[in-house]
Every structure is written in C-alpha cells, then in structure tokens.
Amino acid sequence: MLKKFRHTEGLLARYARLVCDTVVPYQERAIRDEIEGVVPSYAIENFKNAAILNKTGVKPAGGDHKGCVFQDSDVAKWIEAAAYSLSVKPDAELEKRLDEVCELIGEAQEADGYLDTHFTLNRPKEKFTELVGGHELYCSGHMIEAAVALYEITGKKKLLDTVCKNADMLYRVFVTEGREGYPGHPEIELALLRLWRVTNEDRYMELAKHFIDIRGIDTDFFNKEYRRLGINIIYDNHYSQCHAPVRQQSDAVGHAVRAAYLYTAMADLAAITDDKELEDACFRLFESIEKRRMYITGGIGSSYHGEAFTADYDLPSDTAYTETCASIALIFFASKLLKLRREGRIADVMERALYNTVLAGIELDGKKFFYVNPLEVLPGISGNIPTHRHALPQRPGWYGCACCPPNTARLIGSVANYAWDEQDGILYSNLFASGELTLSNVTLEVETDYPFGDTVKYKVKKGSTKLAIHIPAFTLKNYSVSAHGELKSGYYYLEVNEGDEVTVKVEMIPRLYRSNTRVASNSGKAAVMVGPVVYCAEEKDNGDVLGFSFRSSAELKLNKETPEQIGGFYSEASDLGAVYTVTAEGQQTVMDNASDLYFTDEYRKEEKTLKLIPYFMWGNRGLNQMRVWMPVEL
C-alpha cells in the first residue's frame, strides 16, 4: 500500500515527514560515524573492510569487525527506512547514496553468497557454528527486508540480487546439505516470506517453513552448540522460543523481539499454507500477550534480564523494559494476524503500540531515541542504580546496540502498510490516517485529526469498493457512521461509490483505566487514556508527581494545546500541532518534614489539579519525573 498512499496532514503525516527530513539523514550520518559526541557505529566501516578483504585477499590494517556482532543489521534497517522515505519524498541524492551502499554490500559478499561482515572479518572459519548468538541469519533477514523494500519502491535490483544469492546459499546449506540448526534470533523467517512474494521462488518459502518447523524439535540444540564452543552454561530454551515445537507453544516467553518476529513469520506462513494448527498457536500466543503480558502502552517484554517476557501480570512500571523494537515487532505480528482473522481487537493492539511505545521511542526532533520505555521515571534512580540502569530518563543520540532507532524509522516510514490492506475484494482501514489512497478500482481521501480529533471523513474521489473501517474498542459503545453498513468483530462494513462521503465519529473522552489486581505495581492505581493514547504526568508541569492521587469521581477535563502552549518544548516540536492534554482533579500528599524517612504523623492532603500529556511526548523537556499509573482515592 505504501506507494499507493500519500500522507497529507495529521500526526502520522508529521512523523512520516520527520523520518524523511531528519531521521533518515541523521541515521545515515550515525552509521557512517559522522556525528560528534555519539557512540560510534562502525557499520559502514565494517562493510568497507570486508569489501577490501574480498577484493585483495588481505584484511586492511585495523580492519577487524567492530561493534556488535549484528552491526550489519543497522545498515539494512537504515536502507529499508530510506527506501520508504523515497516513497514519501523523492530524493535523487539519497537514491544515489543508496546505490553506493548497495554496491558496497555486494562487494562485501563472498563468492558463494555468504554475507556477514563479523564472520568474514573476524571468524572466517566459524560460519554457522554459533547460531545461538552469531546472528548471521538475523542479519541476512534484515538485509533481505531492506532489498525487498528498495526493489518495491525504486524497482532497483542490485541489493535484491545480492540477497537472493545469499538466500540461495542458505537454502543449499540448511536444506540441500541438511545442516542442523535454526536461528538463535528469529527474523529471517519473516524476511524469506517477503522475498518469496516478490520473486515467486518457492525455495525461499520452503526455507522459511523449514526454520519454523524444526524450531524446538531438538530442544537441546543450542546446548550442544555451547558444548562444542566450550561454553559451560545451560542455555534457557525459552529465551529463543525453542523450548517446544512452535505449534505446541501457548505462552509468550523469552526475548520479546525474538518472540514477536517468530510469531509474525508463523502467522504469515499459516495464512499462506492454510495451516490451522499453526494459526491456532499464533492466537494462543497473541492472547497470552494481549490478556496477560502487555503494558497499557502496547509495550512488551517487562524484564531487563533477557529483554524478555516473564510471567503473567508481571508488569512493573519503573523497571519496565518494553523495548521499542518489541512493540514494532508486535505491530508486525498483529498485521499478519489480521490476514487470518479480521478482528478489531488485533487492530486495537497495533494502534496502541504505535501511538504509545513506538512514537515514544523517538524524540520530537528526530535525533534522539529510546531503546527502553519505562512507565515511571525518577531522576537519580532511573538510569543510575543497578536495578534501573536500563530505564534511561532521557533519550541518547545513538547506541552501541542501535537496533531500535532504524527500526522505528522503517516502521513509521511504512505505516501506510499497516493502516491499509486488501483481502478477498475488501479494502480494510485498520488505522485512521489522513491522506489519499489510489488503487486500481478506487481513490479515497481521508481527513482526520485523530488521535487528537473525533472525526474521520472518507471521501470517494473515484471508483467504488467494499470498505471495512476499524472501529476501536474504546468507542464501540458510542460511535457513529454516516452511511449504512454492518458492524462485525470491530469492523464496520459498507459499500462506497464515487462521490460518497462517509463520516465516522468516535468518542474521544479521557477515561481512568484500572488494571487487573494481579499486576502488583498497579494495585490501587489508575492510568488515563484518550482514545488509543496513554497519558502521563511530568514534573515539568506539576512539580512532584509521586504524591498525587486521582479522585475516582473527579472530572477529567480534555484540552487541546500546542507544544508552545503546554510549555517547555523546543522549537522543533512546533510542527506537532495541537494535541489533547488532560487535567485531573485530585490530592497531593504532603509531609510536614520532607527530610524524615519514617514518621508517626499523619500525611496532609492538599487539593491539586494534575496536568497530563501524551506518553509519547515525555522526556522532551529535560530531566524530570514521569508517571503513568497513579493512586486513586476511593
């Protein structure tokens, strides 16, 4: 859908422009090590050194691979994001630089199709001996995704030819020659299915199916690999979702990004092959996430240890991991599930993850990024003490492990692919996004300020179609559609023809949300949402937010303000436009002597009105407290 959709106005359009104008150029400088004061990437340098080694047979002085073992994937994700940006805003100079990077990657590829600069430069005799953590297949997967995106947007095949040569080598090694093993970090499975779609080469789908089918059959595989490598520890198979065959899995476990990438491929394969057993497993895993292991922000993976799912209802706020990449992967998973069962609750999860954790992962100026997305931040504790060191209170400019920044860019750049899709002759509007969609049978224009407005207008400029509009769960008890249709499983189905104008009205009011009492850190607390957007309180607007408590019956007032009116935001945030803010009545707990650690005196209660801003905007005004969940006075 990406090439067929043109953003116009609104929040998603703003972020699409930000990716084109700021994020992609900034990240290009980052992977080229051209930004002073940020952690070096070495990503392009590694490809240059591998290319020299391939050409001359001699590794250049100082030419060892640097950075994380999976550093190649940063380049791949940047290429993919840059390709999507070209669909939004053509840029001949960027396209030229992309051609040069693709040429360099081809030069770094070995004659047999092998492509991984870490092993080419540092461990040429150890290829595929450390599938548990070597990330060769993971990097191949991201490079395949980049090549497919670039081909779909520009029609250029240089990188596509490179990854096909790599995929053919992988097929030969793992299928024809029967080498044991599967990826420690799933990703290539979903990528191979994308490659199959653009090439029609069945061996790519067969290889994806092979990796999915054998996963967890030999649950001791990675331990055997450890023993061969002389590593004397016991591998936790749950970490890489290989504790059981995938069709027998029920709970979302282990590293959250690995899990959601795997589940994405499983759902895609189930749809392609009509595999009901695999489909049922996907929905069991989705319900494990949606009902018991997902934050209100759409974040997943609650533990710093292993960046992982833990147990049902273990969702702490101040130590939440909720990696940006994990919510991006959850969106991928949800989009594939919609192809299996068109249920509004799936699109609800996709929308929640997008508007909260994903957008929070990027500074409003497009130059700083969160890897971790806590729901409570305390300066002096968050980012400092050992148990909270991962929960940074401010976004860095880059990371040594920089998987999240380019992942965020590629998701935002391709958001039209998740907002729209077609199936069985029906056009589905999964997310409300302002813009114009031009298909062979219909041209639709959408006008909306959502999620900071309650009206969405669909104008049929040409042609006709069956249209299904996702009606989010938060408004299902109070919504309206100006045209006759039928609501089914969270989608409103109707026929539209040239000249029709369909208006959808949703209920955008602030609400207090409680969580299951088994979420220990949220007991007696509530969070505010307006539509799909979660709200938080920052010290910048309120002073100390730790002593505030909502009144359960108090009025929550909805306001609409620009960043300038809210105050404290820098000028680069001005193009955000007006957003909803919320003011809430409550009480502030006051101690007579703030220096006492413990005391027998009563707290004093003072009336207070709290101001809340969208969660995705937090951390853009310097170091200060932030909180999503706050106590409720019963």
Q: What is the pLDDT of residue 177?
A: 97
538 plus 608 within the same structural domain: yes
Q: What is the mean pLDDT of the chain?
A: 95
592 pLDDT tier (thresholds 50, 70, 90): confident
The residue-averaged pLDDT of 73-87 equals 95
Q: Which residues contact 561 (CB under 8 A, 6 or more apart)?
A: 578, 579, 581
Judgement on whether residues 498 and 484 belong to the same structural domain of the protein: yes
Domain-embedded: residue 176: no
Classify residue 555 by its DSSP letter.
-
Question: Is 253 a member of any domain?
Answer: no
Of the pLDDT bands very low, low, confident and very high (cuts 50, 70, 90), residue 574 is: confident
Show which of 505, 522, 547 is a domain's final residue: 505
- Report if residue 100 sits inside a domain: no
Rounded to an integer, the average pLDDT of 399-421 is 89
Tokens representing 527? Answer: 């969070």
Same domain for 538 and 605? yes
Catalytic residue among 102, 164, 403, 536: 403
Rounded to the nearest 5°, which phi and psi values hold at 301?
A: 90, 90
Q: Are residues 540 and 426 in the same domain?
A: no
Question: Quick one: average pLDDT of 543-553?
Answer: 92
Burial of 47 (0-12, 13-18, 19+ CB in 10 A): buried
How high is the pLDDT of residue 2? 86
In a domain, 298, yes or no: no
Mean pLDDT for 56-72 is: 94
Q: What is the pLDDT of residue 405?
A: 84
| One domain for residues 469 and 434 | yes
91 Cβ neighbours under 8 A, 6+ residues apart: 20, 85
What is the count of structural domains for the chain? 2
Residue 211 included in any domain: no
Q: Of 365, 360, 282, 379, which is closest to residue 322 (Cα–Cα)?
A: 360
| Residues 501 and 519 placed together within one structural domain of the fold | no
Among 80, 279, 307, 351, which one carries the catalytic annotation?
307
How does pLDDT run across 150-164, given as a tens digit for each residue? 999 999 999 999 999
| 1 band by pLDDT with thresholds 50, 70 and 90 | confident
The two tokens of residue 151 are: 């081909």
> Does 305 map to a domain?
no
Distance of alpha carbon 276 from the chain centroid:
27
pLDDT band at 633 (very low <50, low <70, confident <90, very high): confident
The encoded tokens of residue 61 equal: 């002085």
Q: CB neighbours (10 Å) of residue 233? A: 7
Same domain, 537 and 628: yes
**Given the DSSP bridges, would you call strands 491-497 and 420-423 parallel, antiparallel or unpaired?**
unpaired
Residue 305's pLDDT band (cuts 50, 70, 90) = very high
Quickly list DSSP for 484-522.
--EEETTEEEEEEETT-EEEEE----EEEE---TTSGGG
Q: What domain range includes position 439?
A: 420-450+454-505
Q: Which residue has the higher pLDDT, 266 or 603?
A: 266
Q: Are residues 515 and 618 in the same domain?
A: yes
- pLDDT value of residue 629: 98
Do the beta carbons of residue 412 and residue 326 sit within 8 Å? no
On whether residue 480 sits in a domain, the answer given is: yes
For this structure, is 307 an active site residue? yes
Integer-rounded Cα Rg, in Å, for the chain is 25
CATH number of the domain where residue 436 is located: 2.60.420
Residue 22: pLDDT over 80: yes
What pLDDT does residue 554 have? 79
Q: Which CA distances in Å does 561 have to 282, 576, 628?
A: 41, 10, 20
463 and 440, same structural domain? yes
Residues 529 and 490 in one domain: no
Name the pLDDT band for 171 (thresholds 50, 70, 90): very high
Q: Letter for the amino acid at 73? A: S
492 shares its domain with 526 = no
Task: Enter the pTM of the model.
Answer: 0.97
Q: Answer yes or no: do 483 and 574 share one domain.
A: no
Residue 371 in this model has a pLDDT that exceeds 90: no
Tokens 């650690």 belong to: 597
Instruction: Establish if 224 belongs to a structural domain.
Output: no
Among 317, 296, 310, 290, which Cα is nearest to 372's?
317
Tokens standing for residue 430: 């999964």
**Per-residue model confidence (pLDDT) at position 397:** 84
d(CA 324, CA 533): 16
